[in-house]
Structure 1
Amino acid sequence: MFKRLILFILLVSCVAGHAQTYQLEKGNNKYNAFAFIEAQKIYLKLVEDGYVTYEILAKLGDTYYFNDDLKQAHKWYAKLFTQFEDTVTPAYFFRYAQTLKTVNKYDESDLFMAKFSSSKGFDTRSKILKEEPNYLEIIELQSGRFEIKNAKEINSYTADFGPAFYTSNNQVVYATARDSGSIIRERHTWNNQPFLQLYTADTDENGVLSKPKPMSSVINTKYHESTPVFTSDGQTMYFTRNNYDNGVYLQDKKGINKLKIFRSYKNKGTWSKPEQLPFNNDEYSVAHPALSPDGKQLYFSSDMPGSMGYDLENEFTRSDIWVVDIMGDGSFSAPRNLKNINTLARETFPFISKTNILYFSSSGHQGLGGLDVFASSISPDGSTGEVVNIGKPINTTYDDFGFIVNDDTKIGYFSSNRPGGSGDDDIYRFLQLEDLRAKCEILVTGNIIDKKIGNPVKDATVVLLDMENNKIDRQVTSDDGTYTFKLDCDQPYVLRVVKDNYTSDEEVIATPTSSGLIDISLEIELNRIPVVDCDDIGPLLDIEQIYFDFDKFNIRADAAYELSKIKAFMELYPQVSVEIRSHTDSRAPDQYNEVLSDRRAQSTRNWLISKGIDASRLTAKGYGEIRLLNQCANGVACSSEEHQLNRRSEFIVSGLEKFKDCD
């Protein structure tokens, strides 16, 4: 009977293990087909049943990560690192670092980015972290330039994002997954939401959106349409669509349907049948078009060959920003990669303002978490400038993207999946209160350091002055000795630090001509030595050995120099008394050494008295060879250097506190 019971248990375990293996294989097939929601359900059930492996936790986290739910991704990546820390691959250092930002754990995020950097030193994401270790302070410089509101008038419970100005109609066109009822809506396996359609919304003088309605069925199909852009005359439209044309749904070699950009012309109020752009391809995605102000360049996002964001571990690419020239006949040049702004992570959703500022979203440049909106100026030759995070409140720890702005009205829109919205992604409108980098500012940070011991100094006062010595600002350092000032660019300033009982220090600085961060640390040192009763102040005052000529007790010139430090100390602390102790080595008779050392101590005392120190504050005693510091007693063979250690003077203080017996 017992054998039958064991056999039954083994049989049940085998069946259960087979079922789990089957479910894992099923989940992996869904994952590999980018059906992340269906894969997620399978992985969650396996974990619930107690079947937890490295692969399951990693891919379960990925199903949330690739759907931009970084908070849930953090939950599963945290379990992955807790249970399998020694075997986690470098790609997950980066992903986990991104999710840690979402839960405001920036220090921990930087730690994992440093681990990622050590494993992938060539990675542009690693380089950016090294160049901007204080990126949070830099982001603060750009923050506070926008006033935002949720465009709740048009947002639905599903995804609403990717707004575009349709200026000729005084409208905004955007993508939404809402169910209009006009088309049979299929759901996408990636996120289990209905496919996106393009909608129009009217705008008023304050940018408030209203009357959302779907665009023509010539534009909208049963698959994805999103992220349009219009020429300034409103007669040409570029937009993103699934690889679906003439009723044919096409896939790449792995069975994945990619994205393509289409173009349509308006004729007598009607949009023409959309046509594909020639640089589309079944094997990679081309999406999110944006036009230069003069309409001569088309920017877009793509993972085409030559993109920087190839993921070796998962065999897919992260998109880059690309650009093509639009020729007079409507044809296009070869695509060019904007290498100055692209990273090995994701760059997407470009927009070019009237003033030739390229706005885009990225997870590779230093941000607050998820996708952040960045800006870079475009020069007349097409080159791009410094990449700048545009700060809060546009950017958050969540995904923030699809930024557009009217430079004339300062009204614009962007998309975000931050909490408090109507659904998944929401559209927000904003008023730009201040131009990006219009006010060039420098963040000056630093530490006040104790020059002697290297520790930070708290409660030091750091004063900011102009060149006429007028005080501009002041700060008192905290426990870590740090200070921070926000200064104007291209201006001279003076930084001065003061603290009781310390020397002061100051530095003249000239701020750079462009916004950024500079670090200036200042060093100060005590001018009042911190001592307590019974301290030997010789080492504290860096007093060298007090030398006497052989068998002599008169004060030599070099000894006088060292004793002047004792004199200065006693003048600085008039309440203290000093006992002078003189010691010899053991190379003469004991009694002789005792007498000699006492004469030397008395000679030292007399010298200090002759320099004005009150005799009542000085005592002197010779100890001969009775307090040796090593083994060099009578009869022990020692080197001259070893004997030298025992020939010394000590200066023992008292009177700083209640008098103590220092023996």
Structure 2
Amino acid sequence: MKKLILIYLLSTATLFAQESQKKRADKYFKIASFAKAAEAYSNLLEEGNTTVEVLKKAADSYYYISDFEKASSLYKTLLEKHKESVDEQYLFRYAQTLKAQGNFEASEKWMQLYEKEVPETLYKANVEKLENIKKQGNKFDIKNEAINTPNSDFGPAFYKNLLVFSSPSTSHGLFSRKYNWNKQHYLDLFAASITNNKLDSIKNPFSKELNSKLHEANVTFTNDGNRIYFTRNTSDEGKRTKDDNKVTHLSIFSADLKDGKWTNITSLPFNGVDFSTMHPALNKENNRLYFSSDRPGTIGSFDLFYVTIDANGNFGEPVNLGSDINTKNREQFPFISSENKLFFASDGHPGFGLLDVFMSEIKEDSYTKPLNLGLPINTNLDDFSFIYQEETKSGFFASNRADGKGDDDIYSFLQTAPLEDFQYYIQGIVVDEETNLPIDEATVFLFDEKENRINEVTVNDSGKFYFELPPGTYKISVYHPDIIPAEKTFTVLDNGTTKNEQNISVKRIPKTFLEELIAEEGDPKVITDNGVLMFDLPEILFDFDKFNIRADARVHLDQLVDKLNRYPLINIAIGSHTDNRGTDEYNRQLSQDRATATMNYLVEKGIDASRITAKGYGESQPKVDCIHKECSDEEHQINRRSEFVIIVKQD
């Protein structure tokens, strides 16, 4: 009995110790003290606690402190035991840890599971594009800088003849405070002189007014050098501010240079206590401030945003850069060059490692498809905070690659080859199906996936055509007075294969053209009138006393546009009608307005007005007789319509 009591007491004590250890681990994890959390969860695992929660948090803790070997092992165990019950984000993180260790084949397998909503052809195209980027060779010479320490050095920014960057604080020597996330000292701003893109080996604190007991990192300056925007822990008068989980996030602050000192340190109005706002970057005109944030409403974990800055220094509302730039994962560390190129880091776009550096050209309020800068800027690990001078084709970035001096290091680079994206295009030949000879003077139209005509070309006697276009799905249609219109739908993949071949064969118009057309379009209502063949199309309806084109009507009209594009030998007659409420004269005008509105819609969609006639018949041709009986609203609706007759002229 005494033995049983002793065993019970020991078991209870062990259970109590584990519960206490888990509470401590969860507390560390909750406040983002991941170095301590990783150690605490490891102890729990060693003691046999392998629940889903402990495995997830242990793996995540190691992931966040970049111990990818341990994180990978834990993610593997988690997915082997609980793959069906964990969030898909764990597929992504496991794939990233495998990539970080150079196991690209296994990483690709898990990434494809994570990207299951991406069609296999597009996924393979992304992989193929990275291989083609590799084949282009290195476009940069890079150098690890002497200012780097064994800890994290990153976030370079140009300021006059200086490079300002972030590095662990040394202001208090061995007694400097350490950050619980990774047990490194808090970050301060430092500076080193730049001469001909060469960095002085001596670094000095940038500003005693800006450096504090909190983190300072990632800065940008106005053109005159008198204002700085920088990232700091969210705080009020030097005292950190915490959210409901007792986590302190990051915010952007500004300061002004007066009499050689940085003053008026101010938190920007679009910061928040419950999310991070960080990594500021000004455009050349200094009227837009770009940044990264995980605020509510983001597409992914961190998105890129901008705010406008007016002449009085007031800030607009944050604007998300949209899905061309932002993904369901991280986009961070923006930089805007003098030629309006956006450089940023992402682990959401197809890349070689964890964070890769990408470039996109800003064109008004749109952004070109991001271009991966390739090797050696990007590696299997984190590459980020890229800054670039167009005049010298040089700059700096940070990386935690394997051959560095410490955690994150700053590298200088010199660009040695153009940063050119792939110029995708299609080419082909229009040939006679019977003779296989080119068709002269045929017009080739290019449509996008929404059936919008975006380009056209008339071929010469070679029959060849050529269009430059971004990746996507398209349709080409070929027209000529002597051929039956032909079309072909195709997809241009973003895989680095710039050329897409789309030859198209066409048939000469036989005497049986009308019969073939009728067979395709359905049995017509035939009316012979001066050699003209007619047949009906679906009608569209109108609201009472109105002639605007309704949403349901647009569907039918878009189908009609498609028919007219495919058959240039046919014209269209529009007949519009009203119900019998109102005077004859009023209804005649209303019906004509409906006919004109219908025709205008077709013309706006690219149909030549010479192919259309439009006439209003008032209430004279009802489908439902409402004169000799009282009609319901539904019956009156049937009479308020536009009808279509296709007219094919016979030779």
Interval containing the TM-score (normalised by the shorter chain): 0.5 to 0.7
What does the per-residue CA deviation read over 1:471-527, in whole Å, with 9 as the maximum and x for residues that have no partner? xxxxxxxxxxxxxxxxxx979xxxxxxxxxxxxxxxxxxx99998236989xxxxxx
Q: Which residue of 1 aligns with 2:196?
A: 205
What does the per-residue CA deviation read over 1:221-240, in whole Å, with 9 as the maximum and x for residues that have no partner? 10000001112221211110
> Of 243, 246, 270, which residue of structure 2 is paired with 1:252?
243
What does the per-residue CA deviation read over 1:430-467, in whole Å, with 9 as the maximum and x for residues that have no partner? 111122117x57899xxxxxxxxxxxxxxxxxxxxxxx
Q: Which residue of 2 aligns with 1:225?
A: 216
SS of the residue corresponding to residue 229 of structure 1 reads strand
* Alignment coverage as a number of residue pairs: 440
2:105 is equivalent to residue 107 of structure 1: yes
Equivalent residue letter for 2:340: N
Shift in alpha-carbon separation, 1:257–1:126, aligned structure 2, 3 A? farther
Q: Which residue of 2 aligns with 1:354?
A: 338
Q: Distance in 2 between matches of 1:387 and 1:326?
A: 25
Q: Distance in 1 between matches of 2:354 and 2:204?
A: 30
2:272 is equivalent to residue 274 of structure 1: no
TM-score normalized by the length of structure 1: 0.62
Q: Distance in 1 between matches of 2:84 and 2:21?
A: 26
2:172 is equivalent to residue 172 of structure 1: no
CA deviation after TM superposition for structure 1 residue 86, in Å: 4.6
Q: Which residue of 2 aligns with 1:193?
A: 184
Q: Which residue of 2 aligns with 1:400?
A: 383
Q: Which residue of 2 aligns with 1:370?
A: 354
Equivalent residue letter for 2:265: P
Shift in alpha-carbon separation, 1:377–1:127, aligned structure 2, 3 A? farther
TM-score normalized by the length of structure 2: 0.63
Q: Which residue of 1 aligns with 2:368?
A: 385
> Of 298, 302, 305, which residue of structure 2 is paired with 1:322?
305
CA deviation after TM superposition for structure 1 residue 20, in Å: 1.4
Q: Distance in 2 between matches of 1:343 and 1:514?
A: 17
CA deviation after TM superposition for structure 1 residue 195, in Å: 1.0
Kept in 1, the 8 Å contact 2:424–2:499? The answer is no
Q: Distance in 2 between matches of 1:81 and 1:346?
A: 22
Q: Which residue of 1 aligns with 2:71?
A: 73
CA deviation after TM superposition for structure 1 residue 268, in Å: 2.8
What does the per-residue CA deviation read over 1:603-661, in whole Å, with 9 as the maximum and x for residues that have no partner? xxxxxxxxxxxxxxxxxxxxxxxxxxxxxxxxxxxxxxxxxxxxxxxxxxxxxxxxxxx
Kept in 2, the 8 Å contact 1:262–1:277? The answer is yes
> Of 119, 138, 145, which residue of structure 2 is paired with 1:144?
138
What does the per-residue CA deviation read over 1:39-60, in whole Å, with 9 as the maximum and x for residues that have no partner? 1111112223343332222211
CA deviation after TM superposition for structure 1 residue 166, in Å: 0.5
Equivalent residue letter for 2:143: K
Q: Which residue of 2 aligns with 1:161?
A: 154
Identity %: 38
SS of the residue corresponding to residue 72 of structure 1 reads helix
Kept in 2, the 8 Å contact 1:70–1:370? The answer is no
Q: Which residue of 1 aligns with 2:560?
A: none
Q: 181-190 vs 325-334, which deviates more?
A: 181-190
CA deviation after TM superposition for structure 1 residue 272, in Å: 1.5
Equivalent residue letter for 1:266: L
Q: Distance in 2 between matches of 1:74 and 1:417?
A: 18
Shift in alpha-carbon separation, 1:515–1:42, aligned structure 2, 3 A? closer
Kept in 2, the 8 Å contact 1:443–1:516? The answer is no
Unaligned segments of structure 2, at least 5 residues: 427-466, 470-490, 502-651
CA deviation after TM superposition for structure 1 residue 351, in Å: 0.4
Kept in 2, the 8 Å contact 1:128–1:365? The answer is no
Kept in 1, the 8 Å contact 2:129–2:494? The answer is no
Q: Distance in 2 between matches of 1:191 and 1:265?
A: 32
What pairs with 1:282-297 in structure 2 (closer than 5 Å)?
282-297=273-288
What does the per-residue CA deviation read over 1:79-136, in whole Å, with 9 as the maximum and x for residues that have no partner? 2223444544322111111212112333322322232234xx3xx8999747624243
Q: Distance in 2 between matches of 1:139 and 1:24?
A: 46
Q: Which residue of 2 aligns with 1:418?
A: 401
Shift in alpha-carbon separation, 1:60–1:514, aligned structure 2, 3 A? closer
CA deviation after TM superposition for structure 1 residue 10, in Å: 3.4
Equivalent residue letter for 1:517: T
> Of 7, 31, 35, which residue of structure 2 is paired with 1:9?
7
Shift in alpha-carbon separation, 1:515–1:39, aligned structure 2, 3 A? closer
Q: Which residue of 2 aligns with 1:344?
A: 328
Shift in alpha-carbon separation, 1:143–1:291, aligned structure 2, 3 A? farther
SS of the residue corresponding to residue 184 of structure 2 reads coil
Q: 108-117 vs 215-224, which deviates more?
A: 108-117
Q: Which residue of 2 aligns with 1:215?
A: 206
Q: Distance in 1 between matches of 2:391 and 2:304?
A: 26
Q: Distance in 1 between matches of 2:346 and 2:100?
A: 15
CA deviation after TM superposition for structure 1 residue 23, in Å: 0.9
Q: Which residue of 2 aligns with 1:598?
A: none
2:411 is equivalent to residue 431 of structure 1: no
SS of the residue corresponding to residue 369 of structure 1 reads coil
CA deviation after TM superposition for structure 1 residue 367, in Å: 0.8
SS of the residue corresponding to residue 3 of structure 2 reads helix
Q: Distance in 1 between matches of 2:122 and 2:174?
A: 46
2:229 is equivalent to residue 235 of structure 1: no
Kept in 2, the 8 Å contact 1:374–1:389? The answer is yes
Q: Which residue of 2 aligns with 1:600?
A: none
CA deviation after TM superposition for structure 1 residue 261, in Å: 0.7
2:496 is equivalent to residue 516 of structure 1: yes
Shift in alpha-carbon separation, 1:88–1:335, aligned structure 2, 3 A? closer
CA deviation after TM superposition for structure 1 residue 17, in Å: 2.2
Q: Distance in 2 between matches of 1:228 and 1:174?
A: 8
SS of the residue corresponding to residue 304 of structure 2 reads strand
Kept in 2, the 8 Å contact 1:142–1:390? The answer is no
Equivalent residue letter for 1:251: K
Unaligned segments of structure 1, at least 5 residues: 310-317, 445-488, 492-510, 522-663
Q: Which residue of 2 aligns with 1:47?
A: 45
Equivalent residue letter for 2:359: A
What does the per-residue CA deviation read over 1:9-35, in whole Å, with 9 as the maximum and x for residues that have no partner? 333223212211221122112111211
CA deviation after TM superposition for structure 1 residue 289, in Å: 0.4
Q: Distance in 2 between matches of 1:231 and 1:520?
A: 45
Q: 400-409 vs 28-37, which deviates more?
A: 28-37
User: Stretches of 4+ moved more than 6 A in 1?
Assistant: 124-128, 441-444, 511-515
Q: Distance in 2 between matches of 1:443 and 1:133?
A: 20
Q: Distance in 2 between matches of 1:296 and 1:179?
A: 35
Q: Distance in 2 between matches of 1:13 and 1:424?
A: 42
Q: Which residue of 1 aligns with 2:442?
A: none
Q: Distance in 1 between matches of 2:197 and 2:115?
A: 46
RMSD of aligned Cα (Å): 3.0
Q: Distance in 1 between matches of 2:382 and 2:398?
A: 8
Kept in 1, the 8 Å contact 2:122–2:494? The answer is no
2:243 is equivalent to residue 263 of structure 1: no
Larger radius of gyration: 1
Q: Which residue of 1 aligns with 2:16?
A: 18
